[in-house]
Structure 1
Amino acid sequence: MTGAEFLTVLTTTDSAAKAEALARGAVEARLAACAQISAPVMSVYHWQGAIETAQEWQVLLKTTAACYEALEAHLTAAHDYDTPEILALPVVRGNVPYLAWLTFETTPPA
């Protein structure tokens, strides 16, 4: 099992509670096998003509390429940002038993 079939999807939000809701919703919907929430990070970015600085919580979601479109739609609908950060990073290699678990957890029950 390699690369193109697995992704780590990244998003950010402005509170721990919102990060947990995004993570929990994606896992409950089986769009991600798991999610990790990082402690607050400082983001610096351009927004509406100004440079902004904000504290955000980063959510990393482990999923398959087959789930990406549905996961992106789910995050977009659940997010309260006008333009949420949603980035998919390919998994180049991974532990085969972990990737098998990831596939199992993102496959809806028959």
Structure 2
Amino acid sequence: MSRVKVVLVTAPKGDGDRLAREIVEQRLAACVNVVRGIKSYYWWEGSINLDDEDLLIIKTSEEKLDSLIKAVKEMHPYSVPEILALDVSRGNESYVEWVVKEVGGG
């Protein structure tokens, strides 16, 4: 099942929809969920920060991962965006096949 990746990306509140649409339009993901209203506490440049953000849950293929990371870095407003790719070890095989098909991987 590691043919599919779930990628987590945080974005400033309100930017999630724009990023999600661009990612799907470019066929870099079969599906992107936008979770609104998360609060992120984090260290940045020596201080603890708190921001309201959107969380993108992106479903893509192993083959599209590098292109997805590059595109997110180019379109994201943060200089160091969070982009974390997780392997999918188990799941609905029909869904996995759909993800791979939709991004042109099979």
| TM-score, scaled relative to structure 1 | 0.91
2:65 to 65, 68, 87: 68
RMSD value, Cα: 1.0
The answer for the alignment partner of 1:54 in structure 2 is: 51
More helix by share: 1
Aligned length: 105
Work out the CA distance in 2 between the residues paired with 1:13 and 1:31: 17
| Partner deviation per Cα, 1:24-52 (whole Å, 9 max, x = no partner) | 11111111000001121110000011011
SS in 2 for 1:83: coil
1:11 to 6, 9, 12: 9
In the TM superposition, what is the alpha-carbon distance from 1:97 to its structure 2 partner?
1.1
| Partner deviation per Cα, 1:10-32 (whole Å, 9 max, x = no partner) | 1011122x111111111111110
SS in 1 for 2:101: helix
Which ranges in structure 2 are unaligned for 5 or more consecutive residues?
Answer: none
Work out the CA distance in 2 between the residues paired with 1:97 and 1:49: 46
Which ranges in structure 1 are unaligned for 5 or more consecutive residues?
Answer: none
8 Å CA contact 2:9–2:82 kept in 1: the answer is: yes
8 Å CA contact 2:3–2:100 kept in 1: the answer is: no
| TM-score, scaled relative to structure 2 | 0.95
